[in-house]
Structure formats: structure tokens, C-alpha cells
């Protein structure tokens, strides 16, 4: 904010009166005579209604159309659309389920375990695993209760539960002229309570054949729906290298810098260009990915106390540098981390010619990163980077549970 040419106060800390308030944001855009709004990756970045309001105010929303955000926000609908485009999707209900009996019939057919998900959800909220036929009645009603509390759309869909999958997402980009490119994949399997902590690209241990199949599927899916601007197609990949579409994110994501590092492009610049009506200026064939990049998300959290938030003043701050190190942060010495917002303080991104070099550079960068006055998850990252299975690239969505105990144990 201090670096900006102009800044406008949009309201108090309460989110409903500032960052989540459509009219406050539109007012700020009007006051500054802004042509466009970049929605970032939180708050209103996947809010179809906000994108629609921008449109009606003649302010360009830097992202896909309101209709696209709406469609992809209905997770079961998004699956059907991708299935029609020939993208493999996780087996399960065709659309949402009417009741527990229907869910049980489908599950009896495809086999247990299954997972119940909120069609209006995402990010892991309102999910429930059902292990057998006898669990369905109770499991369904528990899921329904949670989903009704959490989301306006309380419909539920069902999927085969994939055991210890890898979470691999493909970065795609579309323009106004029907061009779509795939800019590489990211492995985001290292998560805790559906919060990603470490991401890397390229994904380790997947064949070139699987990678190109996923790119092709992602491009076909995005072309089929006429996708514009930056988006991510999320896949789950099982131990037999089968890949299944899970959901689509209609925003730029926190972890986009690792893709920028290996392809040498500025994705936010590209978002602005495409939003301004420029065509994508390069072909799929011209995209050359080289080397390996890893991101560690540094959060203001006390990882020894079950990752509870640790807001407060940063008393000293030293940022590491050197070859292949990129730090994205809004913080500085004497900056106060407020309790109202996300606990992400910095992204440490390490690039190397190969995975080993990226890991070693990341370890050095984390050693040299000094953040005092608050607790952070830096020691957690150091523990993961030392882990033998992580070093071997043997990771999946259960890695943390299976391999990393918390601070005191
Ligand atoms: C799944 C899954 C296995 N099978 N779906 C969905 C939202 C995302 N944040 C996590 N999700 C998952 N969906 C099917 N059909 C595994 C995950 C998953 C997960 C599930 C339970 C506990 C931790 C998890 C970590 C990553 C992914």
C-alpha cells in the first residue's frame, strides 16, 4: 500500500465492511478512475456477483467472466462439463444426490470408501468419508448438517474416495480469441487441513506421458468452456498414475510464482494483458520449462501449538537472497501482523537446475530468513525438507499425517 501511487481507505478491519464489501471496492475504483480491478487470490477473487457488478460498472474484472466463475463454483456441474469435454473425472454421482438412499445406491455400485462433498463448497469444507454401506445413513446426515451451516448451496455430490492421491494442478491461461495454453503443473500434496504449505514444479515422479495427458485434458476442458484468463485445473493422481479432474479454480493462485520461475513468464502481467484484450503472444510449443521450483509458505503460526495463529509485531526481519531465491512478502521490520487476515507472511521460492538444487537452496534460504517477534512455521518446513521420503519425492496428500509429527513430538 505504501508503495502504491494512490491508496484509498475502504473501511474498517471487519471484512464485511471492507475487502468483502462490493460497493466499497467499486467506490475505490471510481474515486481513482481505475479501468480494472485485480481481485488477487482471496476475498472476492472467485465471487461471480462481484465480477458481474464490475462489468455493469464498466470496470474490467481481471479474471474470467461472471458466468464462468458461477459455473465452476458448482463443483458437480464443473465435473459434468469436464466429463463432456473428455476429461477423466473422479467416478461418482452424476450431478448432486437427492438423499442418502440414492447416495448409498451409487456407492454400492462403485464401491467404498466414498467421499461426500458440498457442490457449493471447495477447499475441503463439508467433506465426509463414508467407509461402508452401514455408515451412509448417518454419514450423509452429518455431511448435510455441516454443509447447510457452511454454504448457501447445500447440495451434496459423491465420489469414490481416492486413497493417498497426489494433488496435481495444471496452470492454464485463455484469451478472448479462443487460445488456451497449459503452463505446467504443480504438485500441491503437502497440505495440512486443506491449507497448502509446500508446492513444487515439475511434479516429482510422474512420467512425461502422464504429464502431457494432463496438459491435453486441461487444455481441452478449458477450450470447451471458452475459458479466459488464468485458471487452474486440479487433478487427483492415484498410485497407478490414473488422473482424475477434481475441480477448477477460476483465479490466479498463491503458488503461481513456482510456475513463473520455471517458464520465465510474469503471470500477473499476462493476466492484465489478456484482460485488456491482447491475445496470448506465444504458442504452446514455445513454452519451455526448465529446472525445478519449490515454494514454502511462511505463516505467522505457532507450529508447536497445533499451528495456532501468532499475530503481532515483527521486531526484526531479514530476507535471504542469492541465486534462485525469490521472496514475495508484504511485511517488513516493525510491521504488525493483524489477526483479521490470513496468516501468510511470506512466500519463499527456491529455483534450481534440478530438484536437489532447489531443495538445498530452499534450506539455505530458510536458515537465513530471520523473522522475530512472532512465531512462524519455518521449523516445520525445515523438518519436511530433511525428511527422507520428501527427498525421494515420495509425497501424497497424507504425507504430513504419515511422516511429520508436530513440534513437541
Ligand atoms: C478427495 C480426496 C480423495 N478422493 N476426493 C478435496 C478438497 C481438497 N482440499 C481435499 N480434497 C480431497 N478430495 C476424492 N474423491 C482427497 C482429498 C484430500 C484430502 C482429503 C482428506 C484429508 C486430507 C486431504 C488432503 C488433500 C486432499
DSSP structural state of residue 89: B
Residues 99 and 244 in one domain: no
Assess if residue 368 is contained within a domain.
Answer: yes
Q: Work out the pLDDT band at 260, boundaries 50, 70, 90.
A: very high
How remote is the CA of residue 242 from the centroid of ligand 1, in Å?
15
Assess if residue 236 is contained within a domain.
Answer: yes
Assess if residue 11 is contained within a domain.
Answer: no
The CA–CA distances, whole Å, from 317 to 332, 334, 347, 373 equal 6, 8, 14, 9
Assess if residue 220 is contained within a domain.
Answer: yes
Residues 101 and 230 in one domain: no
Domain count, the chain: 2
Helix (H) or strand (E) holding 167: strand 166-174
Q: Given phi > 0 = left and psi -120 to 50 = alpha, else beta, which region is 65?
A: beta
Q: Which atom of ligand 1 is nearest to the CA of 159?
A: 15
Residues 146 and 253 in one domain: no
Per-residue pLDDT at 409: 42
Residue 329's beta-bridge partner residues?
A: 346
Per-residue pLDDT at 152: 86
Determine whether the shortest distance from the Cβ of 92 to ligand 1 is under 6 A: no
- Domain boundary among the residues 112, 135, 160 is at 160
- Domain boundary among the residues 160, 195, 221 is at 160
**Distance between CA 172 and CA 180 in Å, rounded?**
7
Residues 355 and 260 in one domain: yes
C-alpha cell at 135: 455408515
pLDDT of 408 higher than 70: no
**351 touches 358 (CB < 8 A):** yes
Residues 256 and 340 in one domain: yes
Q: What is the CATH number of the domain that holds 265?
A: 3.30.470.20
Per-residue pLDDT at 121: 83
Neighbours of 207 (CB within 10 A): 9
- Helix/strand/coil for 103: helix
Residue 248: which of 221, 226, 208 has the closest Cα? 221
From 143, 165, 245, 255, mutation site for ligand 1 pocket: most ligand atoms within 8 A of C-beta: 165
Per-residue pLDDT at 312: 97
To the nearest whole percent, how much of the chain has pLDDT over 70?
99
Assess if residue 225 is contained within a domain.
Answer: yes
Residues 100 and 198 in one domain: no
pLDDT of 69 higher than 90: yes
**262 touches 201 (CB < 8 A):** yes
Residues 341 and 203 in one domain: yes
How remote is the CA of residue 161 from the centroid of ligand 1, in Å?
8
Residues 103 and 181 in one domain: no
At 14-60, the pLDDT tens digits run 999 999 999 999 999 999 999 999 999 999 999 999 999 999 999 99
Q: Work out the pLDDT band at 407, boundaries 50, 70, 90.
A: low
Place of cell 505446467: 184
Q: What is the CATH number of the domain that holds 137?
A: 3.30.1490.20
At 88-97, the pLDDT tens digits run 999 999 999 9
Residues 201 and 142 in one domain: no
**Distance between CA 364 and CA 360 in Å, rounded?**
6
C-alpha cell at 344: 501468510
Per-residue pLDDT at 324: 98
Residues 359 and 395 in one domain: yes
Per-residue pLDDT at 406: 61
Residues 155 and 172 in one domain: no
Name the residue range of residue 120's domain.
Answer: 91-160
- Domain boundary among the residues 160, 175, 200 is at 160
C-alpha cell at 49: 456477483
**133 touches 112 (CB < 8 A):** yes
The stretch 236-254 carries a mean pLDDT of 97
- Residue 61 burial by Cβ neighbours in a 10 Å radius (0-12, 13-18, 19+): buried
Residues 156 and 182 in one domain: no
Assess if residue 235 is contained within a domain.
Answer: yes
CA angle 96, 98, 104 (to 5 degrees): 90
Assess if residue 6 is contained within a domain.
Answer: no
Assess if residue 22 is contained within a domain.
Answer: no
The stretch 161-172 carries a mean pLDDT of 97
How remote is the CA of residue 20 from the centroid of ligand 1, in Å?
27
Amino acid at each position: 500500500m505504501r508503495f502504491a501511487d494512490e491508496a484509498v481507505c475502504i473501511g474498517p478491519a471487519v471484512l464485511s465492511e471492507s475487502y468483502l464489501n462490493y460497493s466499497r471496492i467499486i467506490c475505490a475504483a471510481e474515486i481513482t478512475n481505475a479501468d480494472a480491478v485485480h481481485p488477487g487470490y482471496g476475498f472476492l477473487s472467485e465471487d461471480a456477483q462481484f465480477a458481474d457488478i464490475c462489468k455493469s460498472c464498466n470496470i474490467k474484472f481481471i479474471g474470467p467472466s461472471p458466468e464462468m466463475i458461477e459455473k465452476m463454483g458448482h463443483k458437480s456441474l464443473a465435473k459434468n462439463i469436464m466429463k463432456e469435454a473428455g476429461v477423466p473425472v473422479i467416478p461418482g454421482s452424476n450431478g448432486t444426490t437427492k438423499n442418502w438412499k440414492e447416495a448409498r445406491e451409487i456407492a454400492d455400485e462403485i464401491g467404498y470408501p466414498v467421499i461426500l462433498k458440498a457442490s457449493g463448497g471447495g477447499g475441503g469444507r463439508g467433506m465426509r468419508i463414508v467407509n461402508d454401506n452401514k455408515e451412509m445413513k448417518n454419514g450423509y446426515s452429518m455431511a448435510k448438517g455441516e454443509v447447510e451451516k457452511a454454504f448457501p448451496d447445500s447440495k451434496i455430490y459423491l465420489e469414490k474416495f481416492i486413497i493417498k492421491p497426489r494433488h496435481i494442478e495444471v496452470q492454464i491461461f485463455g484469451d478472448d480469441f479462443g487460445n488456451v495454453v497449459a503452463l505446467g503443473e504443480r504438485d500441491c500434496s503437502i497440505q495440512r487441513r486443506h491449507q497448502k504449505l509446500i508446492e513444487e514444479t515439475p511434479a516429482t515422479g510422474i512420467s512425461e506421458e502422464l504429464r502431457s495427458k494432463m496438459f491435453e485434458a486441461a487444455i481441452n476442458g478449458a477450450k470447451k468452456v471458452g475459458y479466459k484468463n488464468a485458471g487452474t485445473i486440479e487433478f487427483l493422481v492415484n498410485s497407478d498414475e490414473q488422473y482424475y479432474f477434481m475441480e477448477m479454480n477460476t483465479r490466479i493462485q498463491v503458488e503461481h510464482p513456482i510456475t513463473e520461475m520455471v517458464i520465465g513468464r510474469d503471470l500477473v502481467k499476462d493476466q492484465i494483458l489478456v484482460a485488456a484484450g491482447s491475445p496470448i503472444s506465444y504458442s504452446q510449443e514455445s513454452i519451455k520449462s526448465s529446472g525445478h521450483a519449490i515454494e514454502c509458505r511462511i505463516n505467522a503460526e505457532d507450529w508447536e501449538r497445533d499451528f495456532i495463529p501468532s499475530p503481532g509485531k515483527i521486531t526484526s526481519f531479514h530476507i535471504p537472497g542469492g541465486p534462485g531465491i525469490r521472496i514475495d512478502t508484504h511485511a517488513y521490520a516493525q510491521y504488525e501482523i493483524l489477526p483479521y487476515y490470513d496468516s501468510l507472511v511470506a512466500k519463499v521460492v527456491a529455483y534450481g537446475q534440478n530438484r536437489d538444487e532447489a531443495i538445498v537452496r530452499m534450506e539455505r534460504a530458510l536458515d537465513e530468513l530471520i523473522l522475530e517477534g512472532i512465531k512462524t512455521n519455518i521449523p516445520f518446513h525445515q523438518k519436511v525438507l530433511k525428511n527422507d521420503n520428501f527427498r525421494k519425492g515420495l509425497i501424497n496428500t497424507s504425507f504430513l499425517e504419515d511422516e511429520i509429527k508436530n513440534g513437541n513430538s
